[in-house]
Structure 1
Amino acid sequence: MKKWFQKSIIITVALLTFGLISPNHFIWEQILDNKSPSRAISSDGHDYEQVKIADESVDYGNMADAAREQAYIKFGNRIGPVIQHEFDDVIFPKIQEAIDITIAKATDQKITHLAISEQPSGDYHEKIFNIYNDSTKKDLIRFHVRTDKKPQEGYYFNFHYHLAEDKYSKHYVLGDIYWSKNTPPKWLS
């Protein structure tokens, strides 16, 4: 489909919804090209719907959109609206930086096969999304959020990631977001 027509549709939807529907380019490409996402099994054995990051060159905007979308799916309707601003202002730029640094270290061959997992874990599990090599099915970087209870303060969401280069043994902290003294709802709720 013509690029100008595709862009016109995206702009029209953004204007009609006052920006409430994010024009995630992957979704629009799938709708307009009448494609469906493929499925893959990652190195941890889970079945994921995959979002291709690149065919010939890395589209960092697409990766950022897909990462943000997976985070908000994980937050659900109860947590997302409460932490949205602090996540967008503080945590998400650090997620983008971690992705950029990790990809900068990767070889060109690995970059062309990167995909982002979908289906974040629910209940009280930590996984938000993984970036993995589509050809080898091995994770490159895993992004998690953990619920921590600090005595006399309340609950915090601890955002962190793990890298394949150290066999996921270290927590690289992205930051904390305060929830309240009340127990937060389960993820995806």
Structure 2
Amino acid sequence: MKTWLKRSLVVVISILTLGFISPSHSLWTDQNDHDKDSKRQKSEIQHERSESIQLTESESHDRKQYVSVLLQEAEAQVYTKFGPRIKRKIEEEFHQMIWPNMEEVILSFTNALSDEELFSLRISNTPGRGESEKIFHLYDDKTSEDRLRIHVRREHPPLDGYYFHFHYHTYKDGFTEHFSLGKIYWDRNTPPHWMSA
């Protein structure tokens, strides 16, 4: 069908129906579209075959990308937990001494998971306030069960200053054992509450 005829039909139909009924899409297309569709289908099949070959590469990329996002969220939760007053004083030491250990624990934990388990893993977004130990928990979104708990505890040994003891617990032993990530010395003075301004 000629182009001018198609356009004039669209205009006439639009005017007659006051725009309430739009013309059929078959007016826009040509009979040659069937040939184009078959060519598209052939190219899509070839594309699917090449995608299946690259699927394992993209799956590993997706895993790495997802774990990277989890690590970014984890680091953000740590700094939220600190609050501005504590962050100012220990941020650099935390980033040099504790964060690499925490990152390693999260990476080894996530590497041991299947794809399904990994992609249902979430990070809690409410660190504990005041004197609570909780920084964040990695939990299964489907069951809402914790899998890994990252905590920090204040310690005050006799005749010594205050320390922040970073540690984690796993579901494997029912979260009973403390696995140390490291300690940071605060001061002889009592540290402020978590998340305090």
Same fold (TM over 0.5): yes
Deviation per residue, 1:121-154 (Å, 9 max, x gap): 1010100000111111111100000000012220
Aligned mates of 1:95, 1:57 — CA distance in 2:
19
Q: Secondary structure at the match of 1:157?
A: strand
Equivalent pairs counted in the alignment come to 134
- What is residue 92 of structure 1 aligned with on the other side? 99
- Give the Cα–Cα distance (whole angstroms) in 1 for the partners of residues 162 and 83 of structure 2: 17
2:67 pairs with 1:77: no
Which residue is equivalent to 2:157?
Answer: 150
**TM-score computed with the length of structure 2 as normaliser:** 0.66
In structure 1, the partner of 2:189 is: 182
Where in structure 2 are there 5+ consecutive unaligned residues? Answer: 1-61
Task: Summarize the alignment of residues 1-189 of structure 1 with structure 2, pairs less than 5 Å apart.
Answer: 57-58=63-64, 59-189=66-196
For the residues of structure 1 that align with 2:184 and 2:63, how far apart are their CA atoms?
34
> Pairwise CA RMSD of aligned residues?
1.1
Q: 1:108: how far off? A: 2.1
Deviation at 1:101, TM superposition (A): 1.1
Question: CA–CA distance in 1 between the matches of 2:128 and 2:119?
Answer: 26
* Structure 1 residues 144-187: Cα deviation after superposition (integer angstroms, max 9, x where no partner): 00000012220000000000011101100000000000000000
Q: By percentage of residues, which structure has more strand? A: 1
Q: Secondary structure at the match of 2:187?
A: coil
The alignment partner of 1:174 has SS state of strand
Offset at 1:110?
Answer: 0.6
Determine the C-alpha separation between the residues in 2 that align with 1:140 and 1:188.
24
1:76-135, CA deviations, whole angstroms, 9 ceiling, x for partnerless residues?
011011000010011011111111111122222211101111010101010000011111
Following TM superposition, the consecutive aligned residue runs of length 4 or more in structure 1 with deviations greater than 6 angstroms are: none
Give the distance between the partners of 1:62 and 1:107, measured in 2 at CA.
17
**Which structure ranks higher in relative contact order (CA pairs < 8 Å, sequence separation ≥ 6)?**
1
Cα deviation, 1:30-56, whole Å, max 9, x if unaligned, reads xxxxxxxxxxxxxxxxxxxxxxxxxx6
SS in 1 for 2:86: helix
Q: Which blocks of at least 5 consecutive residues in structure 1 are unaligned?
A: 1-55
Report percent identity of matched pairs: 40
CA–CA separation in structure 1 for the residues paired with 2:163 and 2:177 = 20
Cα deviation, residue 62, structure 1: 1.1
Q: Say which SS state the counterpart of residue 188 (structure 2) adopts.
A: coil
Q: Letter of the aligned partner of 2:126 in structure 1? A: Q
TM-score by length of 1: 0.69
